[in-house]
Structure 1
Amino acid sequence: MVQTFWSLIPPLLAIGMVLLTRRVLLSLGVGIVASALFVKSFHLTDSFSLIWSAFRSVFWEEGSVNTWNVFILLFVLMLGILTAFVGMMGGTQAFGEWMVKRVKTRAGAHLMTMFLGVIVFIDDYFNSLTVGQIAKPVTDKHRISRAKLAYIVDSTSAPVCVVAPISSWGAYIIGLIGFVLTTHAVTDITAFMAFIYMIPMNFYVWAALGVVLVISLRQVDFGSMKVHEEQALRTGEVKRAVDQQTKSKHMLPTSSFGRISDLIVPIAVLFIATIGFIYWTGYTEVDGNGTLMDIFGEADVAKSLLFGGITSLVVTFILFFKQSKQSHFKMREFFSGVKEGAKSMIPAFLILIFAWTIADLIGELGTGEYLAAVVKQSNISFSLIPFVIFIIAGFIAFSTGTSWGSFALLLPIAGSIAAATDISLLLPLLSAVLAGAVFGDHCSPISDTTILSSTGTECDHIDHVTTQLPYALVSAGIAGLGYLALGLTSSVLTGLIVVLVSLIILFFSLRKKNNSHFEQEKEDTIAN
């Protein structure tokens, strides 16, 4: 069953159950068991032994601690604690009141979040977990649902990182491109320049950002997102009622002496410290002799997030104790903040562990290898190859929950297809792989970026997945048209024009329903 059609069943079963039952851990658990049974041909003892091995590898691998996963999990817990203390100090409320006077419309709040997502391009994990923290006070004041916030954050994390050469993604992709160029003796272009030339060819990035821009400017929603947005406008409740009830059970005290700096300083320290540690961990690996790209390529992002989180927490605790005399906080409030902040991240903590476990088992199944082989062996028209590569890469990333794994699988295959057919297709096909993998990762409920986007915005994970999916599919449809145009005309400019025209058509085809009574109620509430 390994590397055959049957290898598709377990990941699709898990994803289907997630969407139908909304019970993430149960669905991932079923997928984990099914994957192990398929790998071990339904031998129960061997299957459960494999499950234990995959679970253990999340924390312990090759005789040592799996520092990447452990550091990411610790950072998630620290972010929950940081959020709790910023709220207790009144920083969230003060920042929201300050920003809402400057960002006066819902469209402005959308665009502010999009702008933050675009400029924080160093790493997708860092983007997903921090942009939402900064934007939440403003979007909450403007009654923007957490589902919409999670969508904007997710749409500006991986889609931006994949075209940013100075990022963890850029360094990884350039390394893979270099391998492809060397394999096929392409010497007239460097891996870095190939990456630069591929940026405009990554149609999904421009389509995804374009759809966010259109939705933000038109203030029109569809699918289940519309339900969340209408609830937020009507009631001011930016999360589902069940989430609000859960939160109210663990209400932490909030200081009335909060200042903007109580939010800005912890987040700024987190940002600066993390970037500093990314540079430091990379610099020590290249012995100071590498370029900036080499430094980012060798950086340990997970360790940098951990150290940046610790630094920010220390600063936050100092601010808390400094303010405690005014606010009459006692040590029990401090320990409550630590406890409730960490507890708030437990659902994301568990989902990540289950997602990494099933990703390991899907790797054992060879799902990606099977689909990659189908692409390589298919006999299709040259003009359709970029479009087909885009779709297959999307399906692989959606099924496996990893865009990086899809890059590693498909970039060499795309290079081989170009070398065997028309070498001028090399960069367009590599771009189609990157675009498709980001699309699949963007949609997948088992993608760590998707999980962390819902975590960073405090949005129910399944709410995020189901509300984002229609928007991601629209973006993929626009990108697909671009790749069809590219394949038929061999012109990147034509493909970009098709994407742009499609976005313009989308802009003018969306009609805003009259929600003036909701808007007026919102404005009256903010004014008061």
Structure 2
Amino acid sequence: MNKLQNKLTFLCIILGLIGALYVNLYVSATWVESRIQYQTYLTEQGEWAYVKQGNEQIISDVTPYEQSPLAQHKLNLLTSEPEIKEQWVVISDVGQNPILLRADYHFKVWSLLPAFIAIALCLISREPLLALFSGIVVGAFMLGKFDISQEVLIPNMATTDAASILILYLWLLGGLMGIWSKTGAAQAFAEMMSERFVTGPRSAKLVTWMLGVLFFQGGTMSTVLVGTTVKPMADKANVSHEELSYVVDSTASPIAAVIAFNAWPAYIQAFIFVPGVAFLATEADRIAFFFSSIPFSFYGIFAVIGTLLLSLEFTVFSGAPIRKAISRARLTGQLDAPDAAPISAKELQETSVPEGYNPHWIEFVFPLVSLIGIAVVTFIFTGTPQIHWAFGGALLIAVLFALGKGMQIREMLNGLGIGWKGVVVASVILMLAITIGTISKQLGGGIYLVDLLGEELPFWILPVVLQLLTMIIAFSTGTSWGTFAIAFPLAMPLVWDISQNEMLANPEVFMMICFAGVLNGSVYGDQCSPISDTTILSSMTTGCDLMDHVKTQLVPATFAASIAAVLWTLCALFMS
């Protein structure tokens, strides 16, 4: 960093800490009533129950809404934290089925401070580790947690999510990439593809695009699979890392929202139950509603089309930053900007094949095919792809290939070490990203943004308002699935109420349009956020500088989101 960047970074951190201490000392939490509407039913014993994660849960005690201490009119009178945080209630004007009432809180616009500091520092300093850690410290101070290691880092890193990151992205993915680097398998695959299929940047990007569409499970699995597969051949074809990371990232979650034969519908349907709405009554109804809304997933559709156009070298809609990266790579052969600092280590971008070992492309393809096969088979039989099994099986096969071809155990272990060292920084960044996302959720940033909505909005503007709110929430927290959990339970009842108040002729279509606005807004925010796992992994697996990826991707993604906003507004006006 230069002197100006150092000064701005220092100033940003100091102002963030001052703001955090001010909130901790002088700003009271605003408590908000949240209604969680499960599909409840009466058992044969006459008890109310609901199904959660496949298991029946009995509701032991139900209170009239007016008597609940969590009703909004009572939360408004609070001067301290409520004694209970959630309670089952019956609301007479809604129906007889119990609703889970929960007390959430936020600090108004201050709730967004940690995410703002982290994102601002990413842009100013281009150092994601410093930016994320600073955002975590600011958020912790706001919550009164001044022992960062004991009260914040250790609790968050001692979770299932953190353990999953360490096992999957550090041990398994890092080990697999290290073995491929040691055996030269990735380079052999690149040379084979270059000889038979890839003749230049266009064909390399088209292969990348097709693989992104093929791996339509979305999220981290898609970015890792596609990124690690295409990087060797794309580098050989002189494709800039900014181009490559954009195509990889923009065919991950966007394609999963459009080709939704994955875990998304089953996950999201649990959040969109609205009492009294017949077409959302059962799980099957809600999944059918998801698929019926796919034609309105305009952002996902245009994001995927945009990457196809870029792959075909049609760059009108790609933006000046990507065009600049393309020109640099084609004219100078430099795949990264001069000041770039990729988050994957240089060891993984080089090969260190032992003397006498003959690399073969099948050593790259066979583990990759087994990885995809295990993921697909486990998805068919368990309902979700078992990613750890898939990567573990691929790593085992790659190791057995190397040993079977005569590689010494010492050399194989050296390859694993190279891989682990190569992804350790990215793994730490991912863990810090999860931590700041958790803190942002605790501070109620998403709750505050959704709480800004009111039932007085004109119906035709609601899809775009929901899109913008979820874009901000997902960008601030770095997660689309977390945004779904925050936004859908609050947005869907609001959309239904507005459709009834406005006496719309086609309320179901209006619900689909607004549903698509929430879904696609969340995808956009997650995809463009520098603290998102898919953004970080797209950068890591393609060897791109994180902030270069964010800045170059932001232009075409925003263009697609703008077109989607116009189309949602027109659909709301003329189809509802």
Q: TM-score range by the shorter chain?
A: 0.7 to 0.9
Contact 2:280/2:286 (CA < 8 Å) preserved in 1? no
Query: Residue in 1 aligned with 2:402?
Result: 320
For residues 187 and 260 of structure 1, the distance between their equivalents in structure 2, rounded to whole angstroms, comes to 50
1:165-190 per-residue CA deviation (whole Å, 9 max, x = no partner) reads 3312222112323x23x464546881
For residues 402 and 246 of structure 1, the distance between their equivalents in structure 2, rounded to whole angstroms, comes to 25
Amino acid at match of 1:271: I
Asked if 1:415 is matched to 2:516, the reply is no
For residues 361 and 223 of structure 1, the distance between their equivalents in structure 2, rounded to whole angstroms, comes to 35
Asked if 1:74 is matched to 2:74, the reply is no
Query: Residue in 2 aligned with 1:513?
Result: none
Which of 417, 439, 442 is the equivalent residue of 1:361?
A: 439
For residues 250 and 160 of structure 1, the distance between their equivalents in structure 2, rounded to whole angstroms, comes to 28
Q: TM-score, normalised by structure 2?
A: 0.74
1:225-264 to 2 correspondence within 5 Å?
225-240=322-337, 247=346, 251-254=350-353, 257-264=358-365
1:67-96 per-residue CA deviation (whole Å, 9 max, x = no partner) reads 333123211122122122223323222221
Contact 2:347/2:422 (CA < 8 Å) preserved in 1? no
Which of 447, 454, 465 is the equivalent residue of 1:388?
A: 465
Return the offset for 1:28: 0.9
Query: Residue in 2 aligned with 1:472?
Result: 557
Contact 1:122/1:161 (CA < 8 Å) preserved in 2? yes
Q: Which moved more, 1:85-94 or 1:3-12?
A: 85-94
1:42-191 to 2 correspondence within 5 Å?
47-49=145-147, 52-60=150-158, 66-77=159-170, 78-100=172-194, 101-177=196-272, 179-180=273-274, 182=275, 184-186=277-279, 190-191=285-286
Contact 1:129/1:457 (CA < 8 Å) preserved in 2? no
Q: Which runs of 5+ in 1 are unaligned?
A: 41-46, 61-65, 283-295, 492-528
1:424-463 to 2 correspondence within 5 Å?
424=507, 425-463=510-548
Amino acid at match of 1:85: I
- Structure having greater relative contact order (Cα 8 Å, sep ≥ 6): 1
Return the offset for 1:251: 5.0
Amino acid at match of 1:108: S
Which of 237, 248, 269 is the equivalent residue of 2:370?
A: 269
The 1:223–1:187 alpha-carbon spacing in structure 2 relative to 1, beyond 3 Å, is: closer
Amino acid at match of 1:410: A
For residues 230 and 489 of structure 1, the distance between their equivalents in structure 2, rounded to whole angstroms, comes to 43
Query: Residue in 2 aligned with 1:351?
Result: 429
Amino acid at match of 2:415: G
| SS, match of residue 359 in structure 2 | coil
Which of 330, 338, 356 is the equivalent residue of 2:416?
A: 338
RMSD: 2.4
Contact 2:227/2:248 (CA < 8 Å) preserved in 1? yes
Task: Name the structure with the higher helix share.
Answer: 1
Query: Residue in 2 aligned with 1:211?
Result: 306
Structure showing greater radius of gyration is: 2
Q: How many residues align?
A: 454
Task: Name the structure with the higher strand share.
Answer: 2
Query: Residue in 2 aligned with 1:289?
Result: none
Asked if 1:222 is matched to 2:356, the reply is no
For residues 368 and 248 of structure 1, the distance between their equivalents in structure 2, rounded to whole angstroms, comes to 40
Q: Which runs of 5+ in 2 are unaligned?
A: 1-26, 30-105, 501-506
Q: Which moved more, 1:120-129 or 1:163-172?
A: 163-172
Return the offset for 1:264: 0.3
1:169-227 per-residue CA deviation (whole Å, 9 max, x = no partner) reads 222112323x23x4645468811210111101111101111211222223435333334
For residues 321 and 414 of structure 2, the distance between their equivalents in structure 1, rounded to whole angstroms, comes to 35
Q: TM-score, normalised by structure 1?
A: 0.80
Return the offset for 1:249: 10
1:469-510 per-residue CA deviation (whole Å, 9 max, x = no partner) reads 11211111121121222223227xxxxxxxxxxxxxxxxxxx
| SS, match of residue 48 in structure 1 | coil
For residues 274 and 70 of structure 1, the distance between their equivalents in structure 2, rounded to whole angstroms, comes to 20
For residues 249 and 149 of structure 1, the distance between their equivalents in structure 2, rounded to whole angstroms, comes to 17
Contact 2:218/2:255 (CA < 8 Å) preserved in 1? no
Return the offset for 1:243: 5.4
| SS, match of residue 293 in structure 2 | helix
1:294-309 to 2 correspondence within 5 Å?
296=383, 299=384, 304-309=386-391
Query: Residue in 1 aligned with 2:36?
Result: none
